[in-house]
Amino acid sequence: MTTNILADTGVLTGRSLRHILRSPDTIVTTVITPIALLLLFVYVLGGAIRTGSGGSYIDYLLPGILLITISSGIAYTAYRLFLDLKDGMVERLRSMPIARSSVLWAHVVTSLAANLFSVSIVIGVAIAMGFRTGASVAAWLAIAGIMVLVILALTWLAVIAGLTAKTVDGASAFSYPLIFLPFISSAFVPTESMPAPVAWFAENQPVTSIVNTLRALFAGRPVGGEAVIALGWLVGIAVVACTIATMIYRRKIG
């Protein structure tokens, strides 16, 4: 059964990736907003922002931009899953001898591949703009691992949206709060500069611990307890969202 699930997921993932390759504008669209924000904050607003980190502002900024990149990208997962349901593709797949869970996992793996590619593009642009890192090989592996967890956690939220949405706009609109969330965190400015109620929220929401962990890894500094909090948030969101998405999917397909 495991072999069948892996094989079926591989076939369906190949189908989804071919769709992306035939319309690369989806990836281009995904990276346009983060790169525009990178340019805006570094070259227009960066000179007026004091982070207290002693380094370049782009070094401070990049982790938050990477989260926005992923938040933008997962909207397409919800969109593609919604279309598969609406167009009857899922019904057709049900009539075939394939593992039912492979339909969802194919969308998840496709999201993982597409978003990792988008993140790589944004990092490349940041390096061209002057981003520098003291991260070791081990730190880069940790950064990659956190990026994978972020993508998986948010993708499963996208799957829930794709399964429950009534319209195409509704399927992708759920990502807007996720894109906005980094702005109320330590992603762009230190939380100490915020009014007390806003600072409390910023310090206790998941983006801040994730961003701080990534920033420490990029700088080659110890991550401390922030990493434990970040991993707790990511694993918790992924497990809960995956469980809910699977339950909804099973009810939907009978």
pLDDT tens-place values along the chain, 254 residues long: 445 777 777 877 787 778 777 776 677 778 888 999 899 888 887 666 666 666 788 999 999 999 999 998 888 888 888 887 776 666 666 666 566 777 788 889 999 999 999 999 999 999 999 999 988 999 999 999 999 999 999 999 999 998 888 887 787 788 888 889 999 999 898 888 889 999 999 999 999 999 999 999 999 888 888 999 999 999 999 999 999 999 988 887 76
Identify the pLDDT of residue 1.
Answer: 45
CB 33 within 8 A of CB 72: yes
Number of CB atoms found within 10 A of residue 195's CB: 7
Q: How far apart are CA 79 and CA 84, in angstroms?
A: 9
pTM of the model as a whole: 0.90
Q: What are the helix (H) ranges across 165-224?
A: 168-173, 175-180, 196-203, 206-219
Residue 159 corresponds to which tokens in the numbers above? 């799957």
CA angle 215, 130, 24 (to 5 degrees): 85
